[in-house]
Each structure stands twice: as structure tokens, then as C-alpha cells.
Amino acid sequence: MSESIIDIEKIKNGKGYWYIRIRPTDEFYDKNLFGMTQLREIINSTQLRYRGWYYPHIQKPTVIGDGVLGDSVSFEGFLEYWNFYRSGQFEHYFAMREDFTINPEKLEQIKSSFPFNKDDGKGIEKLLEIVSTIYRMTEVYLFATNLAQNTHYKNITKFEITIELKGVKDRMLFIWEWGRELWAPYICHRVDDTIRFQNVYKKDDLILNSKKIALDQIKEIFENFNWEKPNMESISADQEKFLSGRY
């Protein structure tokens, strides 16, 4: 299957997805902060390359509007769409890959492997994988750190970061790794169907504490799935494995 350009609505309609926005705070707003050439330089130099699928994925960035550089991709369950604005704002939509790679047969196979009462997961048709969530949240904050450290942002001292997980209602956590099991059904019941974070960070705090910020919000994500006491020692170990390339 080859990579292809996609429409953003393919990500947003009927499936779960993530929305990320990283931008200078309002006090630093300048719609012409960067030129289009600078946007290309920044996105290429700040891309994370910790695993085979880089963050963000860069295929063929194109000027898609006044002061907007955009790119998108559809490849084996990876559906992504990002925009990078001359104001320094980066926004990213990407599908919950579980919704595109787990067919009904695989879904039932995963659910049947749970060690708890199978009736507890009855009717559940959407899943969120734990380790990939840890990796993704870590990537988002490390990418934000790369932006903050980029010389083009040298005069920006505060950043606003928004993260939303959409389509989470009646979605259940699971883990791919053999030998690791969840002993209870952790299911999200949020009526607004969204888990949302929006915070302002000083540049130095973001650079120094990006891993911890990610861990704190990972914990909160899992708590939204009614996992009362996520195993933070294990979650932190997963993050370190990812950062050291031992995943």
C-alpha cells in the first residue's frame, strides 16, 4: 500500500482521533512571525525520529493557504494531517490507529484474551492501546520541546499546548505486549466523548520537564478510563524504553 494524501474529514468522521496544537501564547502572537521557507526548515529540523514512524510524519509539505504549510498521509492505518502556520502555530490531527487496523475478528480475539469476566467488555467496539499512547504523548511533548529550543523561536518564552483525544466514550484500554495483562476492564464513559488538556508552559519549564509533563497527562488519560491507580512505575519504564530505543 502506497502513501497518499487524505482529506482531514477522513480522520474526523466516525472514528477516534487525536488533535494537537502547539503555539506561542497570545502575547507573542505575530501572524507573520516566520516565512514559508523558515516553516519548512523548522519542521524538518524538529521532527522526532525515535521509531520507524517519525513525528510528525513528513511526506510532501505544500502551501495550502495564506501563510499555511500543510501535509497529510494515509498508510497502513496511519492517517495524519498537519498544518504549520507563519504565526508559529503547529496543529496536528491523527487517527486512533486501533480503529483502522483492528477488524471485528481481531477485536473479538483481543477481548477474549482478557483475564476478567468477558461480559464486562460486552458491546465494546473501540480500543486504545496503552503503550502506543505512552509513546505518542511522549512524542508530542518532545516535539514541543524541539520547537521551543529551535533558534527561530528564540524570542518566544511561553507556549500553549492543547491535546484532545476524540471518540473516547465506550472505548476500552488494552495492551499488545505478550505477557502483560490488565486485570479489569478499563472503559471510558465520558459523555462529552473527549479527553482534553490545555496548558501554558514557560519555555524553560517545558524543556526541563517535558517527560514528566507527558507522564502526568498519561496518568490522567488512563484515569479517564476508570483505571484508578495506573502503574506509574511500569508506565515510566515504557517511556524510558522508548526514549532509549529499546521498545
pLDDT at 4 over 50: no
Report pTM.
0.93
What per-residue confidence (pLDDT) applies to 74?
85
Q: Domain coordinates of the chain in residue numbers?
A: 8-243
Please list, in sequence order, all residues whose beta carbon lies within 8 angstroms of the beta carbon of residue 237, skipping any fewer than 6 positions away. none
Please give the Cα distance from 21 to 164 (Å, whole number). 9
Structure confidence by residue, pLDDT tens digits, 47-104: 999 888 899 999 888 888 889 999 998 888 889 999 999 999 999 999 999 999 999 9
pLDDT class for 110, splitting at 50, 70, 90?
Answer: confident
Percent of the chain whose predicted confidence (pLDDT) is above 90: 72
Residue 220 near residue 176, CB atoms below 8 Å: no
Grid cell digits, residue 131: 503503550
Sheet bearing 62-65, strands edge to edge: 62-65, 68-75, 78-85, 90-95, 17-24, 158-166, 194-202
What per-residue confidence (pLDDT) applies to 1?
31
pLDDT class for 8, splitting at 50, 70, 90?
Answer: confident
Residue 58 near residue 65, CB atoms below 8 Å: no
Please give the Cα distance from 203 to 145 (Å, whole number). 8
Tell me the H-state helices in 77-231. 98-101, 104-112, 130-149, 203-223
